[in-house]
């Protein structure tokens, strides 16, 4: 059988621990036997980030912008314990934060849905994709304790009183955002909605925050009207703005099937709620989209250290590779679309279907086996490699 050809290489960003092991197995068992895989490879293992003074991370992000599509393995974000474990030169920044900043991107988190794993919200039938604005607000806030003075906010020659504490103690916080960042966020969301043919919801608290949150609302609306309205209408999808509390109520009552764009803090909180309600972190994929239309696909979970410790001791693990695998299929599909390579995109779709069919027929990793329930299907828990082999058989 001839292997499927690729026109343009993918940016392949390798990572750490258990996910690095799965990475190689996914490629060996499910991709390279069928695809003549072309990649530009960046090794973001913590050892190599340290050896290159983290230059490799910046180069990987630049490659994503240049080639348009990347796929990333989970990586360790070092803390004090990791600095000691790996004898690092310094506590390098989170690779995801570095790549996100470089690509000026928005992160979209989407669950993989299978029959048998029922969301905790029984009405949810289709994915709810969370788009989190990953810049500014409280994450770049400045704070202080007040001893009793009068707090003011000043900028560009204007000064307003925040609060006169009148001798009483209190606390203060100032936050900011930039027009450019909000515009990039808006364009990434509109592009992703068009790309996936999903409605886009956006929500803030503009009734209370009449300048700050209202500016988010206005920027989204202006960009929508000027650049996207006609395209949305042609694609048969909707842009819908509502207050955050109204959005929360509607999301709970909905059956899913839309993208929910959220400010930084709202997205942080809501993405954990939605991920948990859909069943498992191991089934949650994530894609970073730049406003220029470059894509970086990954799993939402980490390097699964606890399983890696067992693997290092030669023990068997039952680590779920679905999110990592869907990062690969997402990237291959996107590459296929951009290059007009139908065979490549079609292969990625068949691989996704084979994965879902495998789980729905009862073969899955342990994390899912515990919660799977489907009439007439008996559950068989497989180890990490057996699961990939079961998919290959079906493929
Ligand atoms: P984690 O790797 O997501 O794992 C936490 C726990 O969730 C695991 O111990 C496991 O539970 C379960 N789990 C996660 N993914 C799974 C999978 N694919 N299959 C089965 N179970 C899975 O989070 P962490 O242990 O907090 O972080 C480990 C390292 O990952 C850290 O160094 C962190 O910096 C890094 N990290 C990287 C990223 C990224 O690159 N995007 C994101 C988050 C964390 P059980 O042990 O109960 O089986
Ligand atoms: Mg969070």
Q: Total domain count for the chain?
A: 3
Ligand 1, atom 7: closest residue by C-alpha: 304
Handedness of CA 329, 330, 331, 332 (dihedral sign): positive
Please name which of 228, 204, 216 lies closest in space to residue 176, comparing C-alpha atoms. 216
Is residue 296 domain-shared with residue 363, that is, in the same domain? yes
User: Which residues are within 8 A (CB) of 349 and not within 5 positions of it... i.e. 6 or more apart?
Assistant: 329, 333
Please name which of 136, 222, 232 lies closest in space to residue 190, comparing C-alpha atoms. 232
Is residue 243 domain-shared with residue 197, that is, in the same domain? yes
User: Which residues are within 8 A (CB) of 118 and not within 5 positions of it... i.e. 6 or more apart?
Assistant: 279, 373
Q: Relative to the alpha carbon of 322, which ligand is closest?
A: 1
Q: Which of 246, 278, 310 is the last residue of a domain?
A: 278
Q: Which domain holds residue 167?
A: 142-174
Is residue 391 domain-shared with residue 303, that is, in the same domain? yes
Q: What is the DSSP string of 274-321?
A: HHHHTS-GGGEEEEEE-TTS-EEEEESS---HHHHHHHHTT-------
Is residue 44 domain-shared with residue 69, that is, in the same domain? yes
Is residue 284 domain-shared with residue 390, that is, in the same domain? yes
Ligand 2 (ion): residues with CB under 5 Å are 268, 272
Is residue 128 domain-shared with residue 271, that is, in the same domain? yes
Write the CATH number for 327: 3.40.718.10
Please name which of 285, 237, 229 lies closest in space to residue 258, comparing C-alpha atoms. 237
How many whole angstroms from 48 Cα to the centroid of ligand 1?
Answer: 21
With cut-offs at 50, 70 and 90, classify the pLDDT of residue 24: very high
Ligand 1, atom 24: closest residue by C-alpha: 302
What b/e readout covers 286-320, taking b as 16+ CB neighbours within 10 angstroms? bbbbbbebbbbbbbbbbbbeebbeebeeeeebbbb
Residue 304 CA: nearest ligand 1 atom is: 2
Q: What is the pTM of this model?
A: 0.90
Is residue 35 domain-shared with residue 66, that is, in the same domain? yes
Is residue 12 domain-shared with residue 111, that is, in the same domain? yes
pLDDT digits (tens, 9 = 90+) for 145-182: 999 999 999 999 999 999 999 999 999 999 999 999 99
End-to-end CA separation in angstroms for the chain: 14
pLDDT digits (tens, 9 = 90+) for 297-335: 999 999 999 999 999 999 999 999 999 999 999 999 999
Is residue 99 domain-shared with residue 10, that is, in the same domain? yes
pLDDT digits (tens, 9 = 90+) for 258-267: 999 999 999 9
pLDDT digits (tens, 9 = 90+) for 214-231: 999 999 999 999 999 999
Is residue 129 domain-shared with residue 250, that is, in the same domain? yes
Ligand 1, atom 12: closest residue by C-alpha: 304
Does the structure show a pLDDT above 80 at 16?
Answer: yes
């Amino acid at each position: 059988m001839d292997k499927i050809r690729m026109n343009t290489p993918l940016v392949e960003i390798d990572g750490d621990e258990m996910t690095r092991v799965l990475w190689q197995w996914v490629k060996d068992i499910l991709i390279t036997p069928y695809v003549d895989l072309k990649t530009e490879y960046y090794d973001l293992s913590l050892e190599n980030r340290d050896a290159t003074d983290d230059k490799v991370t910046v180069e990987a992000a630049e490659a994503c912008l240049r080639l348009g599509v990347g796929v990333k393995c989970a990586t360790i974000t070092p803390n004090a314990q990791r600095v000691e474990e790996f004898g690092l030169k310094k506590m390098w920044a989170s690779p995801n934060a570095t790549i996100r900043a470089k690509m000026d991107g928005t992160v979209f988190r989407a669950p993989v849905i299978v029959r048998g794993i029922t969301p905790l919200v029984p009405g949810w039938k289709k994915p709810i994709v969370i788009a989190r604005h990953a810049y500014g607000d409280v994450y770049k806030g400045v704070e202080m304790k007040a001893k009793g003075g009068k707090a003011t906010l000043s900028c560009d020659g204007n000064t307003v009183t925040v609060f006169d504490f009148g001798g009483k103690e209190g606390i203060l916080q100032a936050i900011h955002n930039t027009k450019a960042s909000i515009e990039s966020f808006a364009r990434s969301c509109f592009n992703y909605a068009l790309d996936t043919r999903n409605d886009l919801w956006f929500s803030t608290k503009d009734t209370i925050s009449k300048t700050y949150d209202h500016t988010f609302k206005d920027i989204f609306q202006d960009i929508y009207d000027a650049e996207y309205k006609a395209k949305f209408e042609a694609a048969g999808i909707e842009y819908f703005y509502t207050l955050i509390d109204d959005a929360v109520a509607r999301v709970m009552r909905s059956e899913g099937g839309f993208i929910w764009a959220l400010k930084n803090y709202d997205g942080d909180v809501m993405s954990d709620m939605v991920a948990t309600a859909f069943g498992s972190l191991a089934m949650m994929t994530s894609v970073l989209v730049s406003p220029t239309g470059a894509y970086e696909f990954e799993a939402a979970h980490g390097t699964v250290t606890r399983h890696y410790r067992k693997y290092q001791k030669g023990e068997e693990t039952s680590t779920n590779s679905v999110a990592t695998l869907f990062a690969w299929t997402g990237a291959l599909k996107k590459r296929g679309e951009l290059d007009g390579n139908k065979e490549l995109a079609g292969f990625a779709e068949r691989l996704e279907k084979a994965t879902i069919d495998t789980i729905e027929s009862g073969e899955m990793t342990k994390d899912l086996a515990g919660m799977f329930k489907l009439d007439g299907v008996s559950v068989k828990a497989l180890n990490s490699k057996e699961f990939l082999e079961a998919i290959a058989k079906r493929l």
